[in-house]
Amino acid sequence: MELQALPSRIGQVRRIVSAQLRYWHLDALIDRAALGVTELLTNVHLHAQPDKTCTVELELLLDRLTVSVRDHDPTLPVMEVADRLATGGRGLALVAAVSESWGARPDGDTGKVVWFTLPALDVAGALPTVPVRAPVPEKGPRRFAEIEVDPVADPLDVRTPAHAPARSAVVG
């Protein structure tokens, strides 16, 4: 989704990210993903030049959720140690603390992408199963039954949407 990194828009993005993760049955990641994307968008709002336009992307591949923010400022962020009485300067440290990994990379000559990853495993250490409809062999008319597909055990099963990157778009 493309947006202006303004305080009012950051709250909307948090709600969109939360809704998407609920849709993917990744409720356990909502708090960490919302905190991480809030910090990255706040950095765009505070530091990005020449404008505050950015793009937020969520990508779910196998066992990993990647959240990335792309902006038009080529200056890569640096995590610094904030003074204990400082009222700011801890955003990237928070992202590092709640994520599995994070980083930044140049994006062409006039921008960058800052990203973080979260493990998309449930508490038991397995990916959420995705219900799909499959034929049940029997004589007579064809019938369907609900089955559970384990994306790890069946990684090439094209019926499971968890293997394709998903993107949501909001204009404005």
Closest of 157, 106, 153, 115 to residue 133, by C-alpha: 157
Asked if 3 and 13 touch (Cβ cutoff 8 Å), the reply is: yes
Measured CA to CA, the distance from residue 122 to residue 138 in angstroms comes to: 35
Cα angle 148, 152, 157; round to 5 = 65
Q: What is the pLDDT of residue 4?
A: 65
Give residue-wise pLDDT tens across range 131-154: 433 344 444 444 433 434 444 444
Q: What is the pLDDT of residue 36?
A: 93
Measured CA to CA, the distance from residue 152 to residue 142 in angstroms comes to: 28
Tokens (6 digits) for 155: 């990684």
Residue type, 44: V
Round the average pLDDT of the chain to a whole number and report it.
Answer: 74
33 has pLDDT over 80:
yes
Give residue-wise pLDDT tens across range 37-75: 999 988 888 777 878 888 899 999 888 999 999 988 888
Question: 126-162 b/e with 16+ CB inside 10 Å = b?
Answer: ebbbbeeeeeeeeeeeeeeeeeebebeeeeeeeebeb
Residue type, 141: P
Residue 3: which pLDDT band, with cuts at 50, 70 and 90? Answer: low
Residue 117: which pLDDT band, with cuts at 50, 70 and 90? Answer: very high
Q: What is the pLDDT of residue 122?
A: 54
Instruction: Name the pTM for this structure.
Output: 0.67
Delimit the domains of the chain by residue range: 2-119
What CATH number matches the domain at 2-119, 1.10.357.10, 3.40.50.620, 3.30.565.10, 1.10.12.10? 3.30.565.10
| Mean pLDDT of the region 21-44 | 92
| Mean pLDDT of the region 99-115 | 90
Asked if 42 and 10 touch (Cβ cutoff 8 Å), the reply is: yes
Percent of the chain whose pLDDT exceeds 90: 30
